[in-house]
Structure 1
Amino acid sequence: MVTEQPTSRPVARISGPSVIALALGVLGLALAASSLSVGAVALGHLGRHDCKATRRTGGDLATAGLTLGWLHLGLVALRALVA
């Protein structure tokens, strides 16, 4: 009786800064906290670089965090100009 060995797949490693950037971007926009949005932008850039340098996954998460962070900071700047 021949048993087949299960093939092991490499586990995709997600970049930590990318995940945190997305979380900070969502929280920064939801809570209207500019400091969280600044963190989202900084960690988003770090996460994108990390994904490219180490071939980890999560580049899309970093881009989403960057987008949300810049969106909130742009709205804050617009509100400051209008007021």
Structure 2
Amino acid sequence: MDDKTVLSRIHGLVDEEHQLRGQLSRGEISSSEEHARLQELEVALDQCWDLLRRRRAAREVGNNPDAEQAHSAGEVEGYLQ
């Protein structure tokens, strides 16, 4: 996945977040449905941002950014623990 693709995915996930909030406010989904999907979106966003940062870091030090792969949700979510 190149930087442009990762950024496009990030924008798509953010758009979905906004749509969910609108659906909740219109009563189309329950707050528990919104909450569950928002949690999934947050993890996916964390993975995308992590990959983008690692691609940029690889490029800065002269490494191939295409060698970077997305880390698992567990790994990305466990960074601060």
TM-score by length of 2: 0.44
Q: Computing the radius of gyration over CA atoms, which structure comes out larger, 1 or 2? A: 1
TM-score by length of 1: 0.43
